[in-house]
Amino acid sequence: MISVAHLLTESPSQKMTTLCAWPVRTVMFRPICAYCGKPESFYAHCDYRLAIIACDNPEHQLLAKRDAKSWLHKNGRVRPNDYKQDPLFQETDLLTMDVHVLRSDGSIDTEGWKIRNPSFTDHALAKFGGTEGNWHIPVLNKLLDKYIRIQDIKRSLPEEKHALVDAFEAKLTHGFYLAESLAYDEAKRLQEENNNPVASSDKPPMEYSIESCIHPIYGIGRVFMPNKPELVQEQGDPST
């Protein structure tokens, strides 16, 4: 994990403007490094049209990767390239076989559904959410797609493989990117101690997060929502 403490003592001409960053929506945005303001060269993608931008400085690119994973952790998301390295997928045929999917009418489809691969507009992230607060994984059947609970993967596996499902869900719950999230928090603390507020290349007035929603047909989805600003009670003029 990259250390950022030394960056506080760099020369003024080299010192970064921020030690950590939050992703920006890559639509109508300023393509500059989130850490020093130089022209963009690298994107650490968090989700569709959402990324942390860095310049050609390798250290800034490492910070962007770290902060992207921190955002994923804080929003309950895991990239497919990471979760597919788990023994659940490496020691079974889940990545190539048809998976069993529970439909809204209670029936179970046993053919045609496969675990979804990422595309340009869909990063196929594993997600935490829903009304019951479960981890879910994306599946696809031709042009239909939805999310199924991690526990529902057991329908597609023999009983002796069910422990792999439980272990994978436990890892998700613990946090795939917990180390990066803690490193981000430490960088933010150091920055605040040095009176250098957190900034991004084009940070909106309110940071964006993703909230899960449930569609009656398509199942679990997501919407971009600005975090609600904290309400500050107005104080009267003490002189009146």
Q: What is the pLDDT of residue 201?
A: 43
Q: What is the pLDDT of residue 143?
A: 79
Mean pLDDT lowest among 73-77, 164-168, 234-238: 234-238
Comparing CA positions, the residue from 140, 110, 118 lying closest to residue 219 is 140
Q: What is the pLDDT of residue 204?
A: 42
> Domain coordinates of the chain in residue numbers?
5-76+176-208, 80-174
- 149 Cβ neighbours under 8 A, 6+ residues apart: 130, 134, 135, 136
Q: What is the pLDDT of residue 12?
A: 45
Average pLDDT over every residue of 217-230: 53
Q: What is the pLDDT of residue 195?
A: 57
Average pLDDT over every residue of 66-90: 95
Residue 213 has pLDDT above 70, yes or no: no
Residue 87 has pLDDT above 90, yes or no: yes
Mean pLDDT lowest among 5-19, 100-114, 162-176: 5-19
This prediction has a pTM of 0.74
Quickly state the pLDDT bin for 70 (edges 50, 70, 90). Answer: very high
Quickly state the pLDDT bin for 28 (edges 50, 70, 90). Answer: confident
- 11 Cβ neighbours under 8 A, 6+ residues apart: none
What is the enclosing helix (H) or strand (E) of 45?
Answer: strand 42-47
Q: What is the DSSP string of 202-226?
A: T--SS-EEEEEEEETTTEEEEEEEE
Quickly state the pLDDT bin for 1 (edges 50, 70, 90). Answer: low
Comparing CA positions, the residue from 130, 47, 148 lying closest to residue 94 is 148
